[in-house]
Structure 1
């Protein structure tokens, strides 16, 4: 989300309400944003993804891949009401962008389509909304391309939602195409016009019968939470229209139902009706405050996104929960650290316009708040903020080892990676001390590819990346006793150190142990720590080329010279003894084994089990995923070497929705062909 310096500010009007556009990849969220902006005259002409002229998805990475890779913000006014729309990526690899946006949204429009292959992805989106208690409506997009009754489509989509999907409209069909809709609350029929508002028409007798049936079904859903309405239906009394609208609003805002609208974002159909519903049904920002805060009223801003711009520095996009904000105001990060606003901006697509003030409900960008991160709460005055627990960050599922192609760029790379992780909290940067690699981990192949493209395009860095090396280790199978003697005479004082070590294997997981049984001062006490240092240095790389683990070393004997012995001489003696002795102890390669929990739709569980087995995994079993109807969790032990690209195959087998979590469990012996291959990949040779 590259931000420029020219753009449009907010118009005057009512307190803005913030609406997140969410839904599976390719469902048409960016097209809907464009249609909403065109219908509200915020843009002169509705752009298209094909033409590459949309307000959203205008970053180089989004244009290159033809998909949303970050949130896009745009504000609009409609009939005196002000809205801020946040278009969120739909790919599972970029859902962390949605997570940030939802922390500042009053409501969500879930964009879906008639495609049962995307139901698991839709469930991922709806679960995120349900977990955060965010009110939502569903916009069934691409109605012009649907070949099934809307009721049948809802039957396919309903398993993805924990609450009923309630039709607010039914289509008017002509020659198998939806040419308009019937509003079930107002009992009015409308016909579509290409990228223009619909017009009201009279209903045919057939459509009138369909409307009565569909309306009664809608009222039955509402009556589940309204005893008065239920009584009216049972007594066949026509309910008051105001009561119906009140139930629709209240039950949607309370998360009891998910009303369903439909249309075609590409053609602008159904957009006016959606906007009119938003005017009356989107809750105000006060409900967001209740969702975010735990009874505390000090917090004023919720940060939903961090950006690093090439010319404007760091920007923190935040929703104002209460009060008025001016450029230069002093604020308190998490109610404690005083910070000062250095630039206040309104964001519209890729542009930011400087403004002097902003108020309750606005979504603004704050300049140069260096210590502020995505998810932070900011207050106008000092004092502890009683915030509700923050959402857990998504665990990384794929990593790449990354380095600057030229050593002179190493510092620049480190700085750029820090900024990337600030912008996208689902990226993690870590150092593997065993393999001496910098690891960039994220949510999938495309996620990491976009991150590397930003390093190249935004920061001008030439990057070298490769699959991370597996942190193998080695141990021994047998014991030995070995002497290590370091003797050197080169004029003046010489060097002399002589040790006898007993080397023995330990049970797995016991680590390294050093002890001594020296008596009679054959190795003076002051030199024993140096022997230990030499031993530990030598164990850093065994005969197979990897760190040695689970070994006991005991210093049992030795000798010294009153003049030539020194700490360095005894350290070298310890190194020599270990290097010589380990060769005789039948060294064996160890590979790290992880415990893995894979979440997948249950119709893909058999395929997932086969993938695990084919990757040398040991299946521990599977069970239903708690609170996820239709999903399983597969438990397994898997070699780390087989996990590196596991997510690619899992996503391929699950329509792109599988995820997993893993944690190191133990080291296991690796021998035979698998060990030879591991040594070959690591550039080592068997002893």
Structure 2
């Protein structure tokens, strides 16, 4: 049974007017119209005098050079507005699966989400990813079915197609009024009122058309049945054919949405500004406030804190941290405590709207503001006001799936590149930089082609860097198939003391994964004990580059004999003798190339599993099997072994085969022999680079 419950700070569950400043995330698949919806909201609420256009480059969101260049959101767009006396911050998140960290960061502090979708079956898997994230994090949500003016399908058919993407019922709140195949208005099922759309203006209330009455009755009863699943009193009223009161219906809609039992669905066209007013009124009366968000985050009642949603590095203002004030008040010079007990001090409070910042005196509970120069603070952190930071779960960021080797085109810019990469990683936790000790290269790792392209564009445009970018090297190894005995002598006379070292070595192969061993069988002091470690150093140095051009593994070397000179022998002389012996002996040991093989787990919709299996086989992969993905109806986990060389661009093909939603994780498993033409090509490329 539903109830109206008053929460702390004067906030009410079922009367959103007193919930204080709200923070709403706009989510949805790529190109579903989120940024256009934000623009329409700003125009309808008076924050803009005229609705801009993403295509024309006149929108508040997508204003960065990279977003403008690609015609897509590549970062969170922030905008504030007032509606009927209530304050809202909207956070428009990128729809591409390549920018997951943007949404993951902001979801830590929002009150609810508006998920923008359209009648496009190809985008259903992407919609499922978004809804599953919200479901797992317990974030209340409504769905805005956009582009209603472009569909020729019945809304109920569209809803039936979208339902598998949601774990809870999608409950239709409105149905369109059609005229000559065009949606010219809608009927609000909770209000039982009909409206006619007007271009970029508030919809007008009209008399319920006679020919729409039966559709409205059926659709409304379907909505009430869904609500009655969680309200026994409403169920009893429906069974007894008693018309429930409007207040009870709205109370159920609010409570069940906030508890994540249903996902209400609104309809409209962001491009034409249709359906915006009803959506805003729903947010005003039904969106939870900061008290509910604190409860969802399990924040202690006596703890004042802010949640870091996003980190930005601006050209003039330096570092800004976009935060949601969960409780308390933050102003210039306020001390904030991190989880490790260290304190940072606020240097300025700002309002953020698109690319514009404006100084503010303070940020109150519920408000979303930008704080200046919180050095070292990262996206996702929860900071305490004047006391130890509360423990709030950090957002999960997926592992990178694509990488490039990156270097400054000019050596003088190497330090500048390092500083720019550090800032880039602060802004986007979905990126990662690794230093390849084996391949001697810096790798920039990210969530896909566009993600890495945008990162490179920022390094070039924002930080003025010239870059050398190439595919990363594969850490090949080599080993030997047979043993040999070899002698190495280093003798040099150049006046004064000379150099003399003489060693005999036995070289033999070891089993895969056994590494390298060095030992000696010296008797009679033919090689003095103080020089034996130097022989081992020379052998190890020689293994750094084998006959095929790669480090050697899985072999044993034994020092069996040698000779020395009482005056001319030295550590360096014996080290050089060992190197000479290894260089002569290794080519006679049948060297063979080894390539790293990784264990891969692919996550994909079940309907795409046969295509994924074919992709794995085509990449020299060995299928290990597949199972249903736990907690994900209609998804599979495919396990396989794939050579690292064939993983480098795997994500591109996976996403092509899965409507953009496939992903994978991988880890090194073992080294395997590579022979034939493929091995010859690897060796030739290595020789060409070394030349």
Give yes or no for TM over 0.5.
yes
Distance 2:684 2:298 in 1: 55
Q: Which residue of 1 aligns with 2:10?
A: none
Return the offset for 1:319. 0.6
Q: 1:134-213 counterparts in 2 under 5 A?
A: 134-213=139-218
* One of 199, 209, 224 as aligned partner of 2:229: 224
- Checking the alignment, whether the CA contact within 8 Å between 1:335 and 1:379 is kept in structure 2 is no
Q: Which residue of 1 aligns with 2:365?
A: 360
Give yes or no for the alignment of 1:412 onto 2:416. Answer: yes
Distance 1:168 1:670 in 2: 61
Q: Which residue of 1 aligns with 2:78?
A: 73
Return the offset for 1:299. 4.8
Distance 2:300 2:315 in 1: 39
Give yes or no for the alignment of 1:273 onto 2:278. Answer: yes
Distance 2:259 2:293 in 1: 12
Return the offset for 1:31. 0.4
User: Would the alpha carbon gap of residues 269 and 544 (structure 1) be closer, same or farther in structure 2, given more than 3 Å must change?
Assistant: same
Distance 2:118 2:613 in 1: 30
CA RMSD of aligned residues (A): 1.5
* One of 521, 529, 534 as aligned partner of 1:530: 534
* One of 354, 357, 367 as aligned partner of 1:349: 354
Return the offset for 1:293. 3.6
For 2:122, what is the secondary structure of its paired residue? helix
Q: 1:583-602 counterparts in 2 under 5 A?
A: 583-602=587-606
Q: Which residue of 2 aligns with 1:38?
A: 43
Count of residues paired in the alignment: 674
- Checking the alignment, whether the CA contact within 8 Å between 1:335 and 1:378 is kept in structure 2 is no
* One of 242, 245, 248 as aligned partner of 2:247: 242
Distance 1:293 1:676 in 2: 59
Q: Which residue of 1 aligns with 2:619?
A: 615
For 1:143, what is the secondary structure of its paired residue? coil
Q: Which residue of 1 aligns with 2:610?
A: 606
Q: 1:405-444 counterparts in 2 under 5 A?
A: 405-444=409-448
Runs of 4+ in 1 over 3 A off after TM superposition: 293-297, 683-686
Distance 1:290 1:335 in 2: 23
Distance 1:286 1:534 in 2: 68
Kindly provide the CA deviation profile for residues 623-658 of structure 1, in whole angstroms up to 9, marking residues without a partner as x.
Answer: 211111111111111011111111111111111111
- Checking the alignment, whether the CA contact within 8 Å between 2:595 and 2:674 is kept in structure 1 is yes
Q: Which residue of 2 aligns with 1:509?
A: 513
Q: Which residue of 2 aligns with 1:540?
A: 544
Distance 2:340 2:362 in 1: 21
- Checking the alignment, whether the CA contact within 8 Å between 2:381 and 2:394 is kept in structure 1 is no
Give yes or no for the alignment of 1:18 onto 2:23. Answer: yes
Kindly provide the CA deviation profile for residues 545-584 of structure 1, in whole angstroms up to 9, marking residues without a partner as x.
Answer: 1000111111122111111111111111111111111111
Q: 1:221-620 counterparts in 2 under 5 A?
A: 221-293=226-298, 295=300, 297-334=302-339, 336-383=341-388, 385-387=390-392, 389-620=393-624
Distance 1:411 1:681 in 2: 30
Return the offset for 1:684. 5.6
Q: Which residue of 2 aligns with 1:94?
A: 99
Distance 2:135 2:684 in 1: 49
User: Would the alpha carbon gap of residues 296 and 81 (structure 1) be closer, same or farther in structure 2, given more than 3 Å must change?
Assistant: closer
For 2:596, what is the secondary structure of its paired residue? strand
Distance 1:515 1:392 in 2: 48
Return the offset for 1:224. 0.8
Return the offset for 1:682. 2.8
- Checking the alignment, whether the CA contact within 8 Å between 1:398 and 1:443 is kept in structure 2 is yes
Distance 1:436 1:216 in 2: 67
Return the offset for 1:290. 2.4
- Checking the alignment, whether the CA contact within 8 Å between 1:298 and 1:381 is kept in structure 2 is no
Distance 1:384 1:148 in 2: 51
Return the offset for 1:13. 9.8
Distance 2:507 2:44 in 1: 79
Return the offset for 1:315. 0.8
Distance 1:299 1:515 in 2: 63
Q: Which residue of 2 aligns with 1:7?
A: none
Kindly provide the CA deviation profile for residues 303-343 of structure 1, in whole angstroms up to 9, marking residues without a partner as x.
Answer: 01111111111111111000111111111122611111011
- Checking the alignment, whether the CA contact within 8 Å between 2:303 and 2:327 is kept in structure 1 is no
Kindly provide the CA deviation profile for residues 107-129 of structure 1, in whole angstroms up to 9, marking residues without a partner as x.
Answer: 00000000001001111111111
- Checking the alignment, whether the CA contact within 8 Å between 2:338 and 2:389 is kept in structure 1 is no
For 1:93, what is the secondary structure of its paired residue? coil
User: Would the alpha carbon gap of residues 554 and 401 (structure 1) be closer, same or farther in structure 2, given more than 3 Å must change?
Assistant: same
- Checking the alignment, whether the CA contact within 8 Å between 1:527 and 1:567 is kept in structure 2 is yes
For 1:49, what is the secondary structure of its paired residue? coil
| 13-22 vs 618-627, which moves further | 13-22
For 1:50, what is the secondary structure of its paired residue? coil
Return the offset for 1:14. 6.8
Return the offset for 1:600. 1.2
Distance 1:300 1:87 in 2: 23
For 1:256, what is the secondary structure of its paired residue? coil
Distance 2:621 2:381 in 1: 40
For 1:682, what is the secondary structure of its paired residue? helix
Distance 1:251 1:647 in 2: 38
Q: Which runs of 5+ in 2 are unaligned?
A: 1-16
Q: Which residue of 2 aligns with 1:56?
A: 61
Distance 1:685 1:183 in 2: 68
Return the offset for 1:138. 0.1
- Checking the alignment, whether the CA contact within 8 Å between 2:339 and 2:391 is kept in structure 1 is no
Return the offset for 1:681. 3.0
Return the offset for 1:297. 4.3
Distance 2:167 2:376 in 1: 38
- Checking the alignment, whether the CA contact within 8 Å between 2:542 and 2:583 is kept in structure 1 is yes
Return the offset for 1:46. 0.4
- Checking the alignment, whether the CA contact within 8 Å between 1:13 and 1:80 is kept in structure 2 is no
Q: Which residue of 2 aligns with 1:639?
A: 643
- Checking the alignment, whether the CA contact within 8 Å between 2:337 and 2:389 is kept in structure 1 is no
For 2:149, what is the secondary structure of its paired residue? helix
| 392-401 vs 108-117, which moves further | 392-401
Distance 1:297 1:136 in 2: 28
Q: Which runs of 5+ in 1 are unaligned?
A: 1-11
Q: Which residue of 2 aligns with 1:8?
A: none
Normalising by structure 2, we get a TM-score of: 0.96
Give yes or no for the alignment of 1:103 onto 2:108. Answer: yes
